[in-house]
Structures are given as C-alpha cells and as structure tokens.
C-alpha cells in the first residue's frame, strides 16, 4: 500500500448506498455505514429503484440514517411510472423524515435499462420538470445525474448535454456522474459542458471495482466503456481475492489522484454497500480514519 500523500480535507467525498432487500443485506449495509462514517463524508445518498420499486426500503433506510447517524442524507427520487401526485407523496414523506437533499432522476423504466421510456400520462415529462417542482417548493438541495459517455438513450452527446443544461437551468445544484474509468473522457465532457454554459459542479462518480466481470456486464447496459488497461491490471487475479482487492484499490486511488491533478476536488463514491475496498482507497489517498474521527469530534 502506498503512503499517504494528501491531507484529509484536500478533497470532498460523498457515498452512495442502496436499500437492502434481505436481512443479510441489511446487516451488511449498516456495518458499511458504520465503517464509512468515520471518513466524514459531505453527504451520503440512498438509491431508489426503477418505478419506485424500492420505495419502502429506501424510505426506511433514509429514516434510519437521519435518526441514528449524524450523516447528511440525500434521498434519490425518480419520476418514471409515477403520477405527479405519487411523486409528491414520496416528497412529503421525505420532508417529514428530515430529508433536505434530493437526487432527482428520471429513472430507468421498470421493464429494464435499454427499454423505451414513456412518461406517465399524469407525471413529469423528464428530470428537468421534476427538478423545477422540487426547487419551487424552496426546501430542497437538488442533485442530478450526468453521463460523461452520454446516456444510452441520447441521440448524441450534444443532445445529452442539452438535457443536463435544462436540469441545471431548472435549479439543480450539482450533477453526479455515472461511473467512468477513463479520465480523458471526463475532462473532454466537462469542457463541452462548460462550453454549453453549464456552471454547476459536475462531480465524478467513482466505482471501485469489486468484480471486473460483473462491471463489464453493467457497463454494457449503461453505456460506460471499460479501458483495455483494466484487463491488464486484473489479469490472472480471478482466483486471488486479496491481490485483486489490492489492485482494485490502487486503480481507484490512482484515478482520483489523476483527477485531482486536473483540478477536481469532490468525488461521489459508489460503495456497493461494501466498506473494505472504499476504506483501502481512502487510506491510499491519505484520509486516515484517526484523522477523520478527530475531525468529526472537533
């Protein structure tokens, strides 16, 4: 493992969790929350399944995070397959639970990624409309998504960036990107975003690689590319979990360090509800747990 090279507060972090779907997964989630809370994230977010398929567990997770931890908690919200009234009911539940930060998303159709999106006849037409409604309420900090390699359903990158601009113009405070593994792609994307007049932060989404084979399957569905160098880095490690974890931590830490050199200061980490790899990445970046605990207690 490399030695620390950066002071703790040289960059901001946020974590993404997903709601558990079994007692075993619930135990894993709360173990992960406890392990990662010492890194003093700016906020954590909880995902929301297609068509509201995880509405109840998402709300339960959000309530517990707010009620039992000091973590600033953002709740995801989608508008797919839901009327405006149904969306508003979820917003009201979030508000009552103490949520003040919403990650607003159109959402994947319940029929799956890659299938056609059809707005609900009584719902929001797209994320920009949802953002505008949330901002009109005047109570919520709103984040949205961004796609350095463009959303799979976008006709082209220019159309995709126009979609982001409409979300920003509607009042989004920041965009959190889909995971990517080629920093040149992100930098070129950001240049185009700024040229389009979009000035909100575009926070890189970092996914430490738990399993390269599974990642490739996910990437093929959502339009993210997997650079060839990753195959070389993980070659021969399928049956060597300890070595594989070391390489995975190195890869994610190197990606963040390179982005820091390019002027990026905030990172959104997709935890997959697993702490060990995220811990290893942040340790490589110099954010020791002891320092984080001292900072949280100060």
Q: Give the number of residues written for the chain.
A: 298
Q: Which residues contact 59 (CB under 8 A, 6 or more apart)?
A: 75, 90, 93, 94, 97
* 3 state DSSP class of 141: strand
What one-character DSSP code corresponds to residue 210? S
- E strand map for the chain: 12-17, 43-46, 73-78, 101-105, 141-146, 174-179, 202-206, 266-270
The residues pairing with 73 across neighbouring beta strands, listed in sequence order, are 44
Q: How many helices (H) and strands (E) does the chain have?
A: 11, 8
Q: How open is the CA angle 43-144-9, to the nearest 5 degrees?
A: 30
CA 80 to chain centre: 19
Distance between CA 96 and CA 179 in Å, rounded?
31
Is the alpha carbon torsion for 96, 99, 102, 103 positive or negative? negative
Provide the annotated active-site residues: 16
């Amino acid at each position: 493992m490399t030695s620390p090279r950066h002071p703790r507060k040289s960059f901001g972090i946020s974590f993404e969790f997903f709601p558990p779907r079994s007692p075993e997964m619930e135990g894993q989630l709360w173990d992960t929350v406890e392990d990662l809370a010492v890194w003093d994230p700016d906020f954590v977010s909880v995902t929301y399944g297609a068509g509201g398929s995880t509405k109840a567990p998402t709300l339960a997770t959000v309530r517990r995070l707010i009620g039992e931890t000091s973590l600033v908690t953002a709740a995801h919200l989608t508008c797919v397959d839901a009327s405006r009234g149904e969306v508003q009911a979820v917003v009201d539940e979030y508000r009552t639970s103490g949520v003040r930060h919403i990650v607003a998303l159109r959402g994947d159709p319940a029929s799956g990624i890659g299938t056609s999106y059809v707005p609900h006849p009584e719902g929001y037409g797209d994320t920009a409309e949802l953002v505008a409604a949330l901002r009109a309420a005047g109570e919520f900090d709103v984040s949205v998504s961004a796609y350095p390699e463009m959303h799979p359903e976008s006709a082209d990158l220019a159309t995709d960036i126009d979609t982001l601009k409409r979300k920003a113009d509607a009042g989004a405070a920041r965009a959190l990107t889909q995971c990517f593994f080629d920093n040149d792609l992100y930098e070129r994307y950001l240049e185009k975003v700024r040229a389009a007049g979009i000035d909100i932060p575009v926070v890189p989404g970092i996914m430490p690689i738990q399993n390269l084979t599974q990642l490739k399957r996910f990437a093929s569905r959502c339009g993210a590319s997997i650079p060839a160098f990753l195959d070389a880095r993980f070659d021969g490690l399928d049956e060597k979990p300890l070595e594989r974890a070391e390489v995975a931590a190195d890869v994610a830490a190197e990606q963040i360090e390179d982005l820091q050199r390019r002027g990026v200061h905030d990172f959104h980490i997709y935890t997959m509800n697993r702490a060990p790899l995220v811990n290893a990445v942040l340790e490589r970046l110099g954010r020791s747990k002891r320092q984080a605990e001292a900072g949280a207690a100060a």
